[in-house]
Structures are given as structure tokens and as C-alpha cells.
Amino acid sequence: MSRFILVVVLMFAGSGARAEWEGNADLGVSFATGNTESLDTDVALDAIWTGERFTHEFDLTAYRSDIFADLGGPWLRAQNVVDADYAMRFRRRGSRWYGTLNADAYYDLGLDWRFTGSVGGGLQLVDSERHTLIAEIGVGQTVQRAADAAFEFGETAWRWSLEGQWWLIPERLEFSAGVRWMHIDGHGEIYDGETVLRLVVL
């Protein structure tokens, strides 16, 4: 699957905020191609705290995903989703290796709640002011509501990814591209590629 995403980001920060905090308000649209085609539009609020060893990120996103069989083909279904996500990254001083912890609550307005927790690790291959390159591995587990309204364990997913990011215009226009492999128990394997263009407006 290849994906092109154009995201317009409106950034804000409180005048009394500490230097480690950064706040974002994001508006985005994405186009995806692969086994299915999709068109996504979203609005998101982000808060990121960056320290010497730990990074904490909180995201609240509302988006609509229209999924169809082929470009120009019939629409299969539309998803209206609210997603709350927490991600933590931690590393030893001076190390390029890091660990990750992620918790996600996902609500599809046409279906129900789903929760995902994952752990993993990564290696920062390149780190400069203009570009970065990272490789990550991880495993995640979903918990979802069953037909009898009780929660049950869902799919377990194993993943590997490689992603590069480049500032085409420093702090204004960012381009990123990556590849991902994922194995979802009971569903098989997914291979996809993603390209992202992000415009930051202060």
C-alpha cells in the first residue's frame, strides 16, 4: 500500500508554557492506495513534552475515512472515528536505541470502542536538524467490545517499519517516506509504503 498525505498544521503554544512543551492543531487529508482505496480527512489536537530521556505525546483526533474498492469505484463504507492516543519514547543518554510504549482508545461511531496497547523499540540511524531516519519493531494487542457487550481480546499484531523525515523548508514544510511490514494474527501480512507532506503554519 502506498499513501500520500497532505497535512496542514496550525501550531500554538501558551505564553507561559515550559520550553519542553509543544502544542499542535492539525488539519489533514490523506489518499491511500493498496488492497483498498481510501480518502481520509481529519482534525487533531496534539501535546508533546520532550525531555532529556523521555518524550510524551498526547493526541486527540477526529477523522472520516471513506473506503472503496478501486479509484473511481463504488464506496464500500465510511468510518467516522474519534481516536485518543498516548505514546512514550525513552532512551539512555547518548544512545541511538530507544524503547516505545503506546496506548490507544479508538471509537468508530458506526461500531464501538476498541483499545490497543503496544510496546517496541527502535534505532535512530540518522539524526540532524534537516532529516532523520529511524527503524522500529513492536507488538500490539487490541481489546474490543463483543456482541454481548463484554470486552474481549482481539488481534495481536507484529510490526517493523523504516521511516525517513526531511525538512524541505526548515520548520515549515516536512516530507517523510517509509515502509512497513505487519503480521496480524488471523488476518495475514500487510506490506505498505507511505509518503507524507506536512505544512506547518505558525
Reported as a single tens digit per residue, the pLDDT across 68-105 is 654 445 555 667 889 899 999 998 877 889 999 999 98
Residues in the chain: 202
3-state secondary structure of 98: strand
Asked if 201 contacts 9 with a C-beta cutoff of 8 angstroms, the reply is yes
- For the domain covering 2-201, report its CATH number: 2.40.128
When mean pLDDT is compared across 43-57, 111-125, 180-194, the lowest value belongs to: 180-194
CA dist 187 and 118 (Å) reads: 18
Residue 34 has pLDDT above 60, yes or no: yes
Other C-beta atoms within 10 Å of 41: how many? 13
Q: Which residue has the cell 523499540?
A: 121
Reported as a single tens digit per residue, the pLDDT across 155-193 is 788 999 998 888 888 877 778 878 888 888 877 777 777
128: left (phi over 0), alpha (psi -120 to 50) or beta: beta
pLDDT attached to residue 146: 57
